[in-house]
Chains A and B, each alone.
Chain A
Amino acid sequence: MRYLCVISFCLAVIFPALFVWGCAPPDNTDRIDIARALSNNQGMDCYDTVTGPEPLVFPKDAGPHENFRTEWWYYTGNLTTDQGRHFGYQLTFFRQALSCEPVKEDSQWRTRQLYFAHFAVTDTRNKAFHTFFRMNRGSLGIAGSLAQPFTVWIDNWQVKETGSHLTLDALSDEISLSLTLTQEKPPILQGERGFSRKGPGTGNASFYFSLPRLHTQGFITLGGNRFQVTGNSWFDHEWSTTVLGEDVQGWDWFSAHLADGRDLMVCRIRKADGTSNGFGFGSISFADGNYVILSETDFTLTPKARWKSPETGKRYPVQWQIRIPDHDLDLSVSPVIDNQEHTHAFAYWEGAMRFSSPGVQGMGYLEMTGY
């Protein structure tokens, strides 16, 4: 569930990017009123909206859905070297349509699709978190996405389907990631066969599917050293137009690969008062690839300890307890390191986590927004 996240990115990142062409962090005070912009559905009539289940077709639905406003491809994973050194990584691509009107075709620079991406590596041993940001227009092949072969890219950050694998490449000045991902389980169609409700209003929903377990191997280059790594990744692909309900403050999203072969995802959407909006969701995928969809009543999420960001001053609950009684799960969740906050134009926390219960251990990711 990253719907809110994307919208917020669009508003907080893209627009400031238009307003402040530069690397100075924007102060958003008089520039943008997120809530106003969200409730402003002017000129949105011509977008497609998500109102009910529709059959998802592959490979078509792996690619972009340009007539929806927002879309993302989200890769997170935990990797270790032979010596057991742990790294977390995140590579996420977002597509945001600027308009649903047709584009004037007098210049090839014209476009209505905007792409941006976050790339992060958590270096657990050095307690270091590296995060990078890219954004560009979907013109001239600088950035874009394709259904077949599945590809999504900005500059030379890209995920591309090659044969039965996916190759994932991202590099910044000091860190590069070059991974091969192999799908181990069939996709999970989240919610109602891929139709995932996020709020009470019509259209407060998205199309959402996940690849819960992608066997991952490849290389991380960091500080001039190249590490061969293996591990598991989680992939989400989600698209929508008018996702947010009223009064939404943020969300807490968890994914975990458990040692017993189960893969877990739970998320709750918080209202301004901090309580859940009742549209939390989740899924458990079993070692054999079968899965069950969870609703908010199936689990409880309890924040345990908070960490205060020295940079933004935000206080994120980085320690959690997850209880899913039906599946006999009572997991303590703690971060591999506390500081995994993205401090680009829009600050949020997303990082590698350890999941442990008396019976089973696992590694996963947590995303927290709206703090």
Chain B
Amino acid sequence: MGNYPLILVCLRHSRRHLVRTLLLIFGIAMGVAGVVAIDIAKTSVEKSFELSTRELVSRSTHQITGTGLTIPQDLFTDIRKDLGIHRSAPVISRHVKVSQLGDRILTLMGVDPFSETHFRNLHISPGKQDLSGIMTGSDGVLISRSLARQYNLDIGSPLDIFLGSRRTPVTIAGFLDSENSSAGRMLEGLVITDISLAQVILEMGDHITRIDLILDGDGPAEKIQDLIGEDLFLVETDQQNLAVRGLSQSFETSLTAFSMLALFMGIFLIYNTVSFSVTRRHRLHGILRAIGATRSNIFFTVMAEVMVYALIGSVFGVLLGILLGNGAVQAVVATVSEMYFTLTVSQTHISGFTIAKGLLAGILAAFVSGFFPALSAAGTRPVSLMHRTVSEKGFNRVVPGLFIWGLLLLTSAGLLMRTAPTHAGSDFTGLFMIFFGAALLTPLLIRILVRIFLAAGMGALGMMVKMALRNIIRSLRQTSVLMASLMVVTSVYIGIEVMTGSFRLSIIQWVDDHIGGDIHVSSADLLARSLDPDLVDKIRHLPQVTSLSAYNIHPVFSRASGKVHLFSYQSDQSVKRWSWTAAPKEELDALLEEGWIFVSEIFARQHNVMPRQGAAAVLETQKGPVSFKVAGIFRDFFMGGGRVVVSPDTMARYWGHDDITALQLFLASGTPPEPVINTIRQMLDPKDMIEIRSGNAIKHSILAVFDNTFIITSALQVLTAIVALTGILNAVTALLLERTREIGILRACGTLTSQVRQLLLHECFFYGLLSGIMAIPLGTALSWVLIHIINQRAFGWTYDMVLTPGVFFQAIALSSAAALAAGIFPALAAGRTHISTALHME
């Protein structure tokens, strides 16, 4: 018998059950969509990063930067004239806000057009005005044409550039155009002008931000090293990009983890859907076998059909994923910009690879998912010998075996995560093994749980409950797949919820411990950072101020992690509760005075400071690189490349700062901070760039950043819910379909429509409830993995896992509700069962 007529039969069968077929396709589509959406978000961030850095950092191989993130401009003349390195470009670059451009954070970049030749390709369309005027003194800037169009601006339109609170009016002198779209997107985040005007706007004095270089070989690099001395750094661009990139990349790693979760869910759902669709054909296959189809005929027919739907579903999934991905991109880019690096590009990047990955995920998952059902379909006995329970009996026999395999998988996953903790690939393998292992445990667990339920007297709740529970065990082969999927989805929900919840709690704790002051006063002037001692004195003597902490924050450049903030507490009245991740020696303060340092977790990780006593870290000082002993590593959520606490003496000795750059004020309890802030504002010279914020405002803004960061995870949760609902709907529909005959009997015997519906809803509820219960340990394990392995790697932060019963109740409620919701439609349909037809189904 050729396969073609069989496929035709199956496709006809599908057409007759159009809704179910559509659900199958939709199930596959949702799985694929999840994968594609997350992947798009991830690759877009990657691409944005690449564009934002590489295009701006340009083709340079090296950069010269300074400790204070500025360098003297004369250095450029020396490099050009004395060293003759003409592939060098001075750059001034800082983030500003432009009120006419929606207060977006843009990069104001000052360049020397004549040095740019080797570095960047910027195409400019000038207005009538001569652009060279910018060099002599006009206030023209260039922005991308598309950005201008978005805000209805034209050449000649005025812009107000804000650096902190300082406003500089400028004029659009021309547009930046681009040949290709990626460069075009990069341009949208830029305001470009001549280096002279940028220097004025950004108050750089006679400094610039950096010099980009293209160096061949080591010779020129050595010459530059000799020229710049110890104060400045010659950094290989790749290396420096890597430092920043590394931070963001780890964030993307966590996204990858999420995309893997989405893929797992996808695979489960697809398996679910496919295996149900095959089961539904049981009788059809029996008839076909009876009339002479071979096992392989059936196998190939089933596979062929599954693959047809897989293809259709995957294509739809990719489209849907692209749609969802668009939203995810915005969220992710916002996060990365907020935390690591202002991405000037925030366009969705959809690579062929992503699409291929999505398609492949769908098709492969469908193949794998279809394989075993197809195999079992091939094993269908001819119709006359068919008995429903045969396959169930066979399945029942393998349940304990599955359980053992599940345990083995879980154990090896645990071992893998413990012993190979440095490789992302092993994490994902581990995650997959956990999910798969847990799924293998489900049949036995379900059986045990149902027995417990029945034994605990749930049977007494009525015949319906009893029937519902027993039905679950009776169709264990299918219900366990359904419930395993639901369990996986619910556990992802728990995992994310626990992770974000714990994280948030830790952050609140940290904010309370470290940003305890009621008012924070700090210098916003990058170049003249110190606060006027008179001002400090005046503030100290304000009647409302009970005590005051003064400290110096000094940003230094680190080869390993980019910008590192050095803190030295000149007078510390605040009660800080340090959370030490590496047990510190007792006489901490004494050690600090002796020149030891405390470092934050991120710093420790970036600098490979091992969490043990006697570790040392190298910091760039005025005297060159110096190795400091690390007294302790503290938990810290400070953004950027990490934080180092040094004593005021150390700060003065190695960085030459003994001034105060920031204050924390403690007010008498009950004093509102706003009037005090106003009083301090009045003390200031309007030219001072000093930021005054209340502790509350800081706390809120930190939490806002945090919440922003996890928008994407919330989005994932929503996606999870959608995927779960679809999958369950499909599975429940299929499962309940099998009850048709039984429902017929019940109805014939006098069971009311409403009672039949009740029965089905009971069953659904128990699917959800059991899945929810099983999801609790899995979800907890998952959150452990997310917190202690993936997130730590991603952000460099550790925090304690906080488990609240609320999350578990929520999860159980969620899965039960999802299952119930999925059951509504099939239950309604079942109520309408045509009894006589149902009775004669077999």
Contacts and interface: CB of A to CB of B under 8 A. Distances in A.
Q: Do chains A and B make direct contact within the complex (CB under 8 angstroms)? A: yes
Interface of A: 14-15, 17-24, 31, 43, 98-99, 101, 103-104, 106-112, 114, 134-137, 139-142, 153, 155-156, 171, 173
Interface string B197-216: 10110000010000000001
Given A98-B136, A111-B136, A156 B81 contact: yes
A111 B194 CA distance: 11
Given A14-B132, A24-B121, A137-B114, 6 more contacts: A21-B113, A22-B122, A114-B135, A142-B77, A142-B80, A155-B84
B86 A155 contact: yes
B133 interface: yes
Given A107-B196, A112-B135, A137 B112 contact: yes
Contacts of B394: none
A22 B199 contact: no
A141 B199 contact: no
Interface string B68-83: 0000011011001111
B84 A112 contact: no
24 contacts: A14-B132, A17-B117, A19-B124, A20-B121, A20-B124, A23-B117, A98-B133, A98-B135, A99-B132, A99-B136, A103-B137, A106-B137, A107-B196, A109-B112, A114-B114, A134-B86, A135-B117, A137-B114, A137-B135, A140-B73, A142-B76, A155-B81, A155-B84, A156-B84
A24 B124 CA distance: 13
Contacts of A31: 125
A7 to B, nearest CB: 15
Contacts of B133: 98-99
Given A140-B76, A141-B77, A21 B120 contact: yes
A112 B135 CA distance: 7
A114 B132 contact: yes
Nearest to B124: A19
Interface of B: 73-74, 76-77, 80-84, 86, 111-118, 120-126, 130-133, 135-137, 194-197, 199-200, 206, 216
A111 B121 contact: no
B120 to A, nearest CB: 6
Nearest to A116: B114
Nearest to B206: A108
A17 B113 contact: yes
Q: Determine chain B's interface SS by DSSP, over half rule.
A: mixed
A20 B123 contact: yes
B220 to A, nearest CB: 11
A110 B117 contact: no
Contact of A135 (B74, B114, B137): B114
Contacts of A20: 121-124
A18 B126 contact: yes
A34 to B, nearest CB: 14
A112 B136 contact: yes
Given A22-B116, A22-B121, A141-B81, A110 B137 contact: yes
Given A17-B113, A21-B124, A106 B81 contact: no
Contacts of A104: 136-137
B85 to A, nearest CB: 8
Contacts of B116: 21-22
Contacts of B137: 101, 103-104, 106, 110
What 9 A-B pairs are tightest by C-beta distance, nearest first? A104-B137, A156-B84, A109-B196, A22-B121, A21-B116, A98-B132, A107-B196, A21-B122, A155-B80
Contacts of A21: 111, 113, 116-117, 120-122, 124
Nearest to B90: A109
Contact of B84 (A17, A19, A43, A171): A171
A107 B86 contact: no
A141 B113 CA distance: 16
A20 B116 CA distance: 9
Nearest to A32: B126
Contacts of B73: 108-109, 140
A114 B130 CA distance: 14
A173 to B, nearest CB: 8
A20 B76 CA distance: 22
Nearest to A140: B77
B195 A109 contact: yes
Nearest to A43: B130
Q: Which of B121, B132, B195 has the most CB of A within 10 A?
A: B132
A171 B84 CA distance: 8
A282 B112 CA distance: 40
Nearest to B112: A137
Q: Which of B76, B80, B82, B133 has the most CB of A within 10 A?
A: B80
Given A21-B124, A106-B200, A108-B206, A136 B114 contact: yes
